[in-house]
Every structure is written in C-alpha cells, then in structure tokens.
Amino acid sequence: MLITRLSARRLPDGWCAALPVVRHLAERGVPLTAPVTFLVGDNGSGKSTLMEAIADVGGINAEGGKAGTKYAGTGPATPLGEVLDADLTVTGGRLLHGPRLKRRAFFFRAETLVNLARGVLTKEGKGFWADDLTTQSHGEGFVTVLDYMLDGPGLYLLDEPEAALSFQSCLRLAGLMHRVAGEGGQVVCATHSPILTALPGAQIVELGDHGARTGEWAKLPLVDDWRRFLARPDLYMRHIVDDDP
C-alpha cells in the first residue's frame, strides 16, 4: 500500500465543496484498505473530482499522465487537490515524493488519453509504449497504454478506463489490476463497470448523497441495474421507444 487514508484539511473553495463526498473527506476521511480500490457512484457524485485531487497529491497532472516527467504536476492544483491530504506509507512517500526520475505514478483519464498519447509520440508514432497507437482502434489503444503503464510498484489512478473496452478487454484490465497489486502497486479506479468491480479482494467505495461508504459488489446499484436490464431489457426499452406510427 502507498496511500492508506484520504482526508481534507478543510472544505475547498468553489462548487465542489457542496459535494457530499467532499464534506465526508473533511469530516471523517476515507480509509483505503486494499491494493485495489474502486470508486463507484452515479454521474455527478464526485468520482472524477476525487481522482483529480489524488493526482494532485501524487504529483501528476490532473489532466492525466505520468509522474516524474519534466512537467508533471506543474499546473495549478484543483480546488480539492489544494486541501486533500493523503496518509502515505514509507514506500508511498518514496515512490510519490522521492527523486523525480524515480517516482512511480500514472493517471489514466479516458477523456484525455488521446491528447496525452499524441503529446508523447515520437516521429515513429510511439510513446512510452512500443506499439503505434495511430494504427490501433480506440479500444486497442486503451489496452496498449494500460498494459504498458500498469507495471510494478507505483500508484495507478484510472478514471473510467472501461469507456472504450469490450467485455474481454475489461476482463484483461481486471487481470492487470490484480497483477500490479501483487507486484506492490496500488490502484484507485473510478468506474461504472460491474466487471471491474467484481475483482476479488478489491475495496469498493460508494459515493452518493451519503458521502462515501464501503460497498459490497452484489449489492451495488450498478450491478443490480445491469442484472435487471439483462434479464428483461424489454421492460426498460418500452419506456423509451415509441412504437406508435
């Protein structure tokens, strides 16, 4: 483990102070109890806001990227990032705040990955990874980056990585998370995926009006919604499809 607890010194400035999860961080904090933690919740619950703030604490650009690069973490911190505290283990302090070239952290943001990939490409179309992303589909590019960057001890922040992934690719990503956890890494992942959150031994933190609380996979609303839909899709579709001429 690198980070064992997240808390806020005070409520941040701006709109995010009204988020229940932000108030929860200021009042009680959120413990991280497993090498892989999933943040789940509806749109607007604060998952990405929290992920960006963790990136700030880890010295990674909140737009996504790799710690230890020349310009990593040089931009202004997000409002929550300015007040967020992370309790670090000895290993966490070394890997996140040690000598720049030895820092090990990566922030994968689905919405900014294309721009990030283009920014590090060589003339041959390659980046930190060996494959040429310009010849791959969106989903293949996601898998290429994740397969290369999730490796060994380090902090890995993933914001909705399933956005372009097929069912099989989601399973592959779950396997990557399990592997990197066994190698001494720590993963914090914001997701809507019932596949990823089924990873054995992972901690699930539900964000919502209650703030933040530990959840069980079988009782997650996202799991129940998919279970009900797959069992009877017609019950849902009849409300949104008008069959009248």
Is residue 245 assigned to a domain? no
Least confident of 96-100, 133-137, 171-175, 224-228: 133-137
Average pLDDT, the chain: 86
The phi-psi region of residue 216 (left if phi > 0; otherwise alpha if psi is between -120 and 50; otherwise beta) is beta
Q: Is the model's pLDDT at 33 over the cut of 50?
A: yes
Q: How far apart are CA 151 and CA 140, in angstroms?
A: 18
Is residue 100 assigned to a domain? yes
Tens digit of each residue's pLDDT (9 = 90 or more) over 177-222: 999 999 999 999 999 999 999 999 999 999 999 999 999 999 999 9
The phi-psi region of residue 237 (left if phi > 0; otherwise alpha if psi is between -120 and 50; otherwise beta) is alpha
User: What local confidence, expressed as pLDDT, does residue 71 receive?
Assistant: 52
CATH code, domain carrying 188: 3.40.50.300
Is residue 204 assigned to a domain? yes
Least confident of 99-113, 145-159, 183-197: 99-113
Domain count, the chain: 1
Q: Is the model's pLDDT at 53 over the cut of 90?
A: yes
User: What local confidence, expressed as pLDDT, does residue 119 receive?
Assistant: 47
Residue range of the domain that includes 57: 3-237
Is residue 55 assigned to a domain? yes
* In contact, 141 and 117? CB cutoff 8 Å: yes
Q: How far apart are CA 158 and CA 143, in angstroms?
A: 13
Q: How far apart are CA 113 and CA 217, in angstroms?
A: 28
* In contact, 37 and 108? CB cutoff 8 Å: no
Tens digit of each residue's pLDDT (9 = 90 or more) over 69-81: 655 555 678 999 9
Least confident of 16-20, 63-67, 132-136: 132-136
Is residue 57 assigned to a domain? yes
Q: What percent of the chain has pLDDT over 70?
A: 82
The helix/strand/coil state of 39 is: strand
